[in-house]
Amino acid sequence: MAVEVEIERETIRQSVRELARARIAPRAADIDRSGEFPRDVVDLFREHDTFAVAFPPQYGGLSGSALTLSLVIEEVAKVCATSSLLLAVQALGGYPILIGGSEEQKATYLPELASGRKIAAYALSEPDAGSDAGSMRTRARRDGDDYILDGSKMWITNGGVADLIVVFASTQPEARTRGISAFLVDGQSAGLERREIHGKLGIRGSNTAELIFSSCRVPAERRLGEEGDGFKIAMGVLDRSRPQIGSQALGIGAGALEYALGYAKQRHQFGQAIAEFQGLQFMLADMGAQLEAARCLVHEACRAVDAAEPRMTELAAMAKLVASDTAMKVTTDAVQVLGGYGYVNEFPVERMMRDAKITQIYEGTNQIQRLVIAKRLLA
């Protein structure tokens, strides 16, 4: 059985690798340059059932395995970080339903996410509440069979295009994190305004938005779990999503290393390929070793997620921390390998360096990851 799973996993990974290199890689530079949301890539993922990798077969998915999703995200991120984020955020929007949803909610919404018929978003952060979720100001008050949402969310990936948004709001403000609840909000709801954010350093084709809720009415049947379950759901989601950001970081770094290796073999100085110089070889060796070490940690975290192991939280934070820091260093070194050519957008490594930065910030900053890890170690 384990062998069959591995064969299936490798088949999926190879299929996505071929798709990414043939269809997405040629688009990557233009997506970055234009900053436009890549709807053609969304259609491509729909056509090839790529979104389905994140979801269990009983809900229309292909796998539901964190490790399989990790391999897929890495392959796409090697050529285009923006496109890989489409897969990561679709999973991010589905995880709250898997964790806190009723069987009816799972059967209703997960197949639509698995097929890509609906695009998901996850709305936790606010203008004044990023790492400190207890300071959340978005409110949800009960009104008969509905809840009324008022407040705003910030830096929401897919926020301007999502059909289904998981929104966290306080139903009992004085209880801080224990008073947070989670809701499934239709992207076209009355009382929801979406303001797209432009001018990002990297992942420029990814849609990022501020969401404004003004007396936005949500049916009570769209609440996930009980009132007050929201923070527990949110933290459970991050345990599952952080390794996938690590996977994205791995892909960005691996793509940069691959390009730098090819360049070093072709670029000649002082009568030989620069790959022949020991100083450069040492740099490339460090890049490869650091990526492989990070990959081992990310895959271990994914296995912990798949097995629901107690160390899942700790390993997820470690994976995200190490992989994203590694991606930032490796992409910076890749720019250095290319020298002046690495500094212009005719070559992809400068884009990869810009894209790598966000992996140190979203899904909890790396400073927050260190707090999570330290707390677990000290316990």
pTM of the entire structure? 0.96
The label of the residue with tokens 């259609």 reads 43
The answer to whether 366 touches 323, Cβ cutoff 8 Å, is no
Element (H, E) at 235: helix 230-266
Which residues of the chain, if any, have pLDDT below 70? 1
Residue 1's pLDDT is 60
Asked if the domains at 2-115 and 120-227 fall in one CATH topology, the answer is no
Q: How far is CA 176 from CA 140, 180, 182, 216, 222, in A?
A: 13, 7, 14, 22, 22
User: Which CATH architecture group holds 120-227?
Assistant: Beta Barrel (2.40)
- Which residues make Cβ contacts (< 8 Å) with residue 177, sequence separation at least 6? 133, 134, 231
Neighbours of 114 (CB within 10 A): 24
3-state helix, strand, coil in the chain (%, to 5): 60, 15, 25
Own/partner pairs for 100-105, CB < 8 Å, 24+ apart?
100/182, 100/224, 100/225, 100/229, 100/232, 100/233, 100/236, 101/224, 101/225, 105/184, 105/222, 105/224
* Rg for the chain, CA atoms, rounded: 21
Q: Taking Cα atoms as reference points, which of 166, 179, 201, 18 lies closest to residue 90?
A: 166
Cα–Cα distance, 57 to 226 (Å, whole number): 26
Pair type for strands 139-143 and 120-123: unpaired
Residue 202 gets which letter from DSSP? S
Residue 130's pLDDT is 83
The answer to whether 53 touches 61, Cβ cutoff 8 Å, is yes
- With 0-12 / 13-18 / 19 or more C-beta atoms within 10 angstroms meaning exposed / middle / buried, residue 252 is buried
Residue 3's pLDDT is 76
Residue 133's pLDDT is 85
Domain boundaries, the chain: 2-115, 120-227, 231-378
- Which residues make Cβ contacts (< 8 Å) with residue 343, sequence separation at least 6? 335, 350
The gap between the terminal CA atoms of the chain, to the nearest Å, is: 37
Q: Give me the torsion for CA of 293, 296, 302, 304, rounded to 10°.
A: -110
CATH no. of 231-378: 1.20.140.10
The label of the residue with tokens 């009570």 reads 220
Mean pLDDT estimate for the chain: 97
> Which amino acids are annotated catalytic?
363
Q: Vertex 173, ends 167 and 176: CA angle to 5°? A: 85
User: Which CATH architecture group holds 2-115?
Assistant: Orthogonal Bundle (1.10)
Neighbours of 374 (CB within 10 A): 12
Cα–Cα distance, 180 to 233 (Å, whole number): 10
Residues paired with residue 168 on neighbouring β-strands, in sequence order: 182
